[in-house]
Each structure stands twice: as C-alpha cells, then as structure tokens.
Amino acid sequence: MWFGIGPLLGALAAPLAVEQSPGDARYMVLRGDERGPSGSHALDEAANFFRAAPTHQIVLIGRRPGRVVELGILPSFVAMSRRELASRGVPGSAMVVAGDTAMDEWDEARLLAAWLHDRPGVTVAFACSQFRSGKMRYVLDRVLSREDAARVRIFSLRAPDCDARSWWRSRSGVKEFMFSWLEMAYARWEGENRPVPQRLDADAYRKKLDRALARAPQ
C-alpha cells in the first residue's frame, strides 16, 4: 500500500494535466492577465521557442483589462508581455496579438478560433499551467471545430514546486490540486452558460455608488 500510494495520487491528478508534443508548431500561444501569463516561466519558454527557429512567432491572448490597468497602475497583459519578450530578445515582428478582451477561458478559445480560421493548416503550441491544462483542453475541444482543435497542442508548463506527478508533497501542490478540480468541475457543469459580471469603468462605478448612497436611509 505504501509503495502504491504515489502512483494512485498521481493518477488522481491525471485529468488535470495534459501535455502534448508541440510537433511542427510555428506559433506559441501565451494567455494571461496583468498578473502575468499562465504557466511557470512562460515568457522564458516563449523566448526559447522563438530562438529555436527564426520563423517562430508568439501569439498573445489577454484578458479584459482590470481596474489596476484602467487606472494605469499596471500594464495590460499584452503590453507587459511585449516588454518582457523584447527584453529576452524576441523582436516585435515575432509577436502577434489575437485579442485582449477575453473574460475567461471560453472567450480565449473563441479568440483563438477566429485567429485560426484565417490561418488554415497552422499548428500552435498552447502554453498553459500544468494543473489548468486539462480544463483548457476541455474548453478548446468544445469551442473549436474538430479540425481546428487538432491543430492546437497543449504545451504544459510545470512549476518547480508544484508537479501533478507529486502534488501531495507540497502545500502549493495540494492547493493547486484542489482548486483545479473545482474549476474543472465548474467548467464541465456550467459550460459557457456561466454568469458574466457587469464591468464598469471607474467613473461609472463612482456614479453608481453615489446613487446607491443617496437612496440609503439616513
């Protein structure tokens, strides 16, 4: 039982972690928000991908800018990624923006679907954190056509202290395991029929708050 517990626990995380060979992919997709891209060392991996062949390019898909971006506190995902990739030797001509308005993974998949539609025959390596790769594969397979989904290869990025093959050995691994299963279950249960919160810019939010305070009992 003791020697068998490791493989058993690793098998429990298998649906969360998908890793596929990039094959002959000419593009690597990076996704994320102002906090950074999805996956450990994603920017370094993207730079290595570009250096492997001069024809390789990096495709950026960002989330809709949050409040800290609107206020100018942090740069958007696309702006941050361009800056960081340039510092790693990736020229601007090797970066392509597929969109920066995604609300979640479903929107990211739709932005990628539109990008792929204009580039038949192109194969992409989709960089993703290891524990979220299973969910992303599920979403891509539901949004994209069968032919387009086959052109997207999940490039799973492992964190040094958080691996699906040994997740129970660290606190961060246990947290990733639990939250990733919750996210996977939610994605499969809700699908695209998920509630979309209303987003207001800072001025609209202030006016709404003023109206609410004016109606509040004194």
Greatest mean pLDDT range, 10-14, 94-98, 201-205: 94-98
Show me where the domains of the chain are located.
2-215
Kindly indicate the confidence band of residue 199, based on its pLDDT and cuts at 50, 70 and 90. Answer: low
Q: In this structure, what token pair is assigned to residue 161?
A: 């202290």
Q: Could you write out the DSSP letters of every residue in 119-182?
A: STT--EEEEEEGGGHHHHHHHHHHHS-HHHHTTEEEEEE-BTTB-TTSGGGSHHHHHHHHHHHH
Per-residue model confidence (pLDDT) at position 140: 96
Contacts from 63-68 at CB under 8 Å and sequence distance 24+? 63/31, 63/32, 63/33, 63/34, 63/100, 63/102, 63/103, 63/104, 63/108, 64/100, 64/101, 64/102, 64/103, 64/199, 65/34, 65/100, 66/33, 66/34, 67/202, 68/34
pLDDT higher than 90, residue 192 = no
Mean pLDDT computed over 108-134? 93
pLDDT higher than 90, residue 43 = yes
C-beta separation of 206 from 71 below 8 A: no
What does pTM read for this prediction?
Answer: 0.83
Angle at 166 between CA 163 and CA 170, to 5 degrees: 80
CA 195 to chain centre: 19
* Average pLDDT score, the chain: 88
